[in-house]
Structure 1
Amino acid sequence: MGATNVAFAPTGEQALAKCAMASYDILFVDYHLGIGKNGKQLLEDLREKKLLPPHCIFMLVTGENSVPMVMSAVELEPDDYLVKPFSQSVLRSRIQRIQRKKTQLADLYQALFDDMPEKAIELCQQEVSQEGRYQQFCKRVLVENLIRLEQLDKAEHILTQALQQRRSGWALLLQAKIYFLQQRFADSLLLCEEAIADNRYFAEAYDIKAQCYQETGELDAALSSVLSAAEIAPYNMQRQYLLIDIARKLNNIPQQVQASKQLYEITRRSIKQDIVHLLNYIRSTIDAAVRTEDPSQRNRYLQEVSLAMQRVKRDESMTREINFELFEHLCQARLESLHGAQYQAKRTYAAVAEQLPEQHQLLPDTIFLLNQIGEYEQAATLGKLLPAELMKNPLLKTLFADQKNFLDQKQHKFGELNKSGIQSYKAGNFVVAVKQFESALELAPMNTGCALNLIQASIQLLHSQKKRKSTELFERCKKTFRIVDNMPLPEHHRARYKELLQQFDKLRDELRR
């Protein structure tokens, strides 16, 4: 076809490196590039790194024509998408068509590349007023940028005129989006239905439907709609976040886990790669194991956690950003707690506690563990240290909300029992206080404050029963000390622990005489 300067790259990573060194006029990219980045991920990377100049033509090629593969690629809007086999004449005509468009709209493509929405709007208005060949494309870009700048009335006026001329899919979708932003959910749903009736593979229309149903409280319909979108085009991060949010509101644990796994898979080789997606996938799976009541389902989740851990260890590029060994210890402690080994879980935590303050990425896991074993006060203290940047991740916020909802009732009951025990203690009713503190510890077995309360009440009870030695009570008190022995303690608990230990040792010596 006359091209004389042609470069080849066998992998997405090598292609990315070459594009960083030179500017190409055409990128002809296969979807499947073996191990590493695929063609879609390469396109994302090039855009993110500003390595795809406005004049460059990016053509994605694949031998597959499955709906998820094609639609996920098309959603990313490469300049063109070709399914093998194709002829040279088809390739030539496609390239020439795109080249004509990029030449005529060079200033517009430059404004979009430079992220200048106001300039893009001005250039689009000029093209539309001249009724040029690309006025429909420019109307779409114009409306998208008006919506971005929250100029909804202007965008709606343009769309109303466009829809009077032709009920095109892009116009229906953007009008539905505007109606959603204006909280006109019924009107938005009608336009989504019309768009889907015209093109049943219109994933974005299903997304807006799901959002509308979510806002109106029709969560089953919302889940059905977003699942339809994910079936059509599963490799969209925002779609998976929407799925997680809706599934959470329905307490659909399997869907939450599956979507968190999909987020990890989507980002694993792309510019969006971030250790947080891996951590959130494992966190979600452990959280699902904690919340499910089905023993067989719990075992499946635990196996999934184990497999994910093993897989990650073989990929050092994913784990070098954090101390993955510490993360493993925290996960291990959560699993030990899940199996009822509360004391061992706290011991596992204690072994690494000193290393954790500098590991901000692992603060969520520390908080999850402390809440799980009943150390609510310490968890709340650490919660105040969570970096704001970390909490911008939607899935992490969901995980915190899920644990809060799951623990709220238990924590409230624990608080009431602990409070009642304190009142009974102050009233001198040590027998009742001991029973109340013991009941509270059944709900939060490793809670330091409550354990110290129980020890204090038990010591007072032992003092009152000196004449009839209570070996059972003495042993129970001794066992309770294990909850705090050699554990990391806040300063106020540490001082109280030392004082109670001295009292207990003195009492023990007296009982032996």
Structure 2
Amino acid sequence: MQDVEKNTLAQLDQLNVLVIDDNLLVHSVLKASLFALGIKEVRCVQNAYYGLRLCDEIHFHIVICAFNIQSDKDGFHLLEELKFKGHVTKTTVLIFLSTETNEALVNSIIELQPDDFWTKPLAIKKVRTRFIAILKVKQVLFNINNAIDKKAYAKALYFADRHLQNEKLAHYHPNINRIKGESYLSLLEFETAESFYRRLFKIYKYSWVYLGYAKALLKQGRLGEISDMVNSLIDKPDTRFGAHDMMAQYFIEQEQYQQAYEEIKKAMALAPRNIERNRKSWDLARLTHDYKGQYVATRNIAQQAKNSIHDSPALLLNVIRAGIDFACATPDDSANEILRQTDRYIRQFEHDCQDLSLFKQPLLVVKARLHNVRNEQAKAIKLVENHMSLIPSTVVEDNLDRVKVLHELGMREEAIKLLAAINHQIAGNSLNSQVVRHYIAQESQQREDIHFTAKELNRMAVEHFQKHRLLPALKAIQQALQLSPNNVKLLFSQLKILIKIKQEDQDTHEHQVAVEGILAVLSTLNFEGKGLATLNELTLKWQKLN
């Protein structure tokens, strides 16, 4: 436990510095500043490509990177890749440069945990002062950070306690205590973390103390004790992003997916670039049947992943699939524009993809689903029966899309068998696995109970209503709302059918409760124009009948 590794940041003349910025003036200012401090090795590049190549050849102790690199990857994607490849660790001095300071950018940068964030233009004197201060902190915390890099949290606690006993290091005690609290949380010692943060309240007023304390209590399921604190954290600009992200994680662990989804959307608005959070948003949109949300999330993922380590043709394929799902759940003509955009995405996919043979089956399924949603069922059946394999793919998303086309074409036995196969593919107990497993279970149940898409059910309801078959019309709309519960047009249709049932004296107490529930939901929505007029008209009709 007492082993102390050599501090590779100790000697200035032994440090390697990498500067990545497309502005040559920035190179000059940083070189002059760093050379004056006694640093001898400063490499400057103007784009991410050469920065990555240099990192493959040389170990850099200090990385100074601009956000707005114009030529290839931006700084955010570059730093993400440098971290992924192990070129930037907790012991690396990491400094981010930018001319922008908007909240979304700052929150996204904070997630990458740089040691400092400098705004341009740079001044030599300011660079020297800030750099010396940051380097001194990293030198003092070297052994602790080295332990964190190796996930040796108990060792990090040991070094932290030693440093905290040294009064000469009092200036660095806040940094050390922050790492100590995070180490307790990483070791799942939540009660110890709670006591630790409570003691820190008497010393510090930093936002990380409050967020750490809240996490410790949430992990113990004690939200009720800190609800006021959480609300306060959400209200403050410097903690609201962390608070929304923390609460989303808490609600996921509690399997309260609607609340988790609301929190993740707020966190996404404050820091839109994190791919994993976008993926979480997509999963939660699926669980809550928010088809528009799924479409938006997949588009965000594809857009934010461009030129990053996450980039893949499969991301655009997910956008295409989500577009078809959205169109299937949209009962009115606005589905046509979604389908036109989906056609454009398919053409883009076929043009951009370097090896289409790898995506032959997924594209075939997508095209069959498009035929079906456009009421060209014979073409869809021909494609599926003649060309689609029923052998499960190794890719879960490919299999899910096959289930959808089989279900949509009435091949329900095959769809349910494939869903069972998918369930065996979901491995591990990660939160993502839990969410996807829950989604699969939900899909399995619904595909056994409901045999049509929301769009088809709405069409059936309209036909029943026109032929004065009110109860079958109501049943069809209720099933459509199970698949697309947030669809306002379907809620209005259900309300119209229930009013008609009341007019025909066929209503029951359940119908009465259903109307009151629909009106309560619709009254919370901020309607204007035609939507507001329709709501007022239907509300008045209902009131006259009672």
TM-score for both structures, normalised by structure 1: 0.71
Report the secondary structure of 1:85's partner residue.
coil
1:256 matches 2:262: no
Report the secondary structure of 1:86's partner residue.
coil
Change (3 A) 1:55 1:141: closer
Change (3 A) 1:228 1:307: same
Equivalence for 1:326: 361
Q: 2:164 aligns with which of 122, 128, 131?
A: 128
Partner Cα distance (2:134, 2:255) in 1: 44
Equivalence for 1:236: 274
Equivalence for 1:70: 106
1:407 matches 2:447: yes
Stretch deviating more after TM superposition (298-307 or 326-335): 298-307
1:116 matches 2:152: yes
Change (3 A) 1:398 1:389: closer
Equivalence for 1:160: 198
State the Cα distance separating 1:315 from its structure 2 match. 3.8
1:271 matches 2:309: yes
Equivalence for 2:207: 169
- Superposed CA deviations along residues 228-258 of structure 1, whole A, max 9, x for unmatched, are 3222111223433443455445533222221
One-letter code aligned to 2:172? Y
Equivalence for 1:226: 264
State the Cα distance separating 1:299 from its structure 2 match. 2.0
Equivalence for 1:496: none
Partner Cα distance (1:235, 1:245) in 2: 17
Equivalence for 1:335: 370
Larger Rg: 1
Q: 1:85 aligns with which of 93, 117, 121?
A: 121
Q: 1:17 aligns with which of 40, 43, 53?
A: 53
Give the count of matched residue pairs: 411
Partner Cα distance (1:191, 1:241) in 2: 28
1:181 matches 2:219: yes
State the Cα distance separating 1:339 from its structure 2 match. 1.4
1:307 matches 2:347: no
One-letter code aligned to 1:304? Q
Equivalence for 1:34: 70
- Superposed CA deviations along residues 153-211 of structure 1, whole A, max 9, x for unmatched, are 11111101011223321011111112221111223432222323443563011223445
Change (3 A) 1:113 1:359: closer
Report the secondary structure of 2:201's partner residue.
helix
- Superposed CA deviations along residues 458-506 of structure 1, whole A, max 9, x for unmatched, are xxxxxxxxxxxxxxxxxxxxxxxxxxxxxxxxxxxxxxxxxxxxxxxxx
One-letter code aligned to 2:346? M
Partner Cα distance (2:47, 2:289) in 1: 41
Q: Which runs of 5+ in 1 are unaligned?
A: 414-442, 444-513
Change (3 A) 1:165 1:178: same
One-letter code aligned to 1:123? F
Q: 1:349 aligns with which of 379, 384, 391?
A: 384
State the Cα distance separating 1:60 from its structure 2 match. 1.3
1:60 matches 2:102: no
- 1:111-510 aligned within 5 A: 111-131=147-167, 132=169, 133-199=171-237, 202-210=240-248, 224-248=262-286, 250-274=288-312, 276-296=314-334, 298-316=335-353, 323-354=358-389, 360=395, 362-386=398-422, 388=425, 400=440, 403-404=443-444, 407-411=447-451
1:330–1:349 contact (8 Å) kept in structure 2:
yes
One-letter code aligned to 1:32? N
Equivalence for 1:105: 141
Change (3 A) 1:104 1:181: same
Partner Cα distance (1:52, 1:43) in 2: 8
One-letter code aligned to 1:21? E
Partner Cα distance (1:188, 1:258) in 2: 33
Change (3 A) 1:157 1:125: same
Change (3 A) 1:246 1:165: same
One-letter code aligned to 1:284? A
Partner Cα distance (1:60, 1:305) in 2: 38
State the Cα distance separating 1:295 from its structure 2 match. 2.3
One-letter code aligned to 1:306? D
- Superposed CA deviations along residues 351-390 of structure 1, whole A, max 9, x for unmatched, are 4335965664633322221122121211222334436268
One-letter code aligned to 2:370? L
2:287–2:439 contact (8 Å) kept in structure 1:
no
Partner Cα distance (1:405, 1:275) in 2: 31
Report the secondary structure of 1:165's partner residue.
coil
2:377–2:409 contact (8 Å) kept in structure 1:
yes
Report the secondary structure of 1:7's partner residue.
strand
State the Cα distance separating 1:303 from its structure 2 match. 2.8
Partner Cα distance (2:412, 2:183) in 1: 47
State the Cα distance separating 1:73 from its structure 2 match. 1.0
2:313–2:349 contact (8 Å) kept in structure 1:
no
Partner Cα distance (1:348, 1:232) in 2: 44
State the Cα distance separating 1:68 from its structure 2 match. 1.0
State the Cα distance separating 1:331 from its structure 2 match. 0.3
State the Cα distance separating 1:99 from its structure 2 match. 0.9
Change (3 A) 1:302 1:397: farther
Partner Cα distance (2:439, 2:341) in 1: 18
Change (3 A) 1:354 1:327: closer
Equivalence for 2:520: none
One-letter code aligned to 2:380? A
Between the aligned residues of both structures, percent identity stands at 22
Partner Cα distance (1:154, 1:66) in 2: 37
1:330–1:365 contact (8 Å) kept in structure 2:
yes
One-letter code aligned to 1:409? D
- Superposed CA deviations along residues 77-127 of structure 1, whole A, max 9, x for unmatched, are 112111212312222222111111111121112112222222222222222
Equivalence for 1:498: none
Change (3 A) 1:37 1:92: same
Report the secondary structure of 1:295's partner residue.
coil
2:426–2:436 contact (8 Å) kept in structure 1:
no
Change (3 A) 1:397 1:273: farther
1:31–1:39 contact (8 Å) kept in structure 2:
yes
